[in-house]
Structure 1
Amino acid sequence: MTAPATEHNRQHWSLDGMYEGLAKKTLDVWVKVSHEVDFRNLTWRNTAYAVALSCIIKAKQTRDLWP
């Protein structure tokens, strides 16, 4: 399924390209959380929160902003 390009972050993405990007990001995060579940010995939910918070902290340190 191909649709007109959509502008996101000043880049033009087709609908298929957006779905592919979302699938890649979702898989990357799933892998990160699955590794952390074993390492931290937490539930999947708590580990997902911990991973999400670490991403927010990293973004704040990198950009010196609070999202």
Structure 2
Amino acid sequence: MEELKVCPYCNGDMVQGYIQSPRIIIWSKKKHRLSFLPKEYEGDIMVKGANLLGAYEQAYCCQKCETIIIRGNN
């Protein structure tokens, strides 16, 4: 992931870290009940798959507005 130093929303400082989950990380247009797989036919995106150690993805967090920016597997 390209390093982000400045928040694109408020110009605050971005800090590199990780989004973490005990299961896969999914983005979806709407809230679903607990699911272990994305519903691709509804436009869901699997940001990161999981293994026995869980899932994590590099992310940046703005220290000013707390916006978090991550990029999926693509």
Alignment TM class, shorter chain as reference: under 0.3
Instruction: Report the structure number with the largest CA radius of gyration.
Output: 1
The structure with the greater share of residues assigned to helix is: 1
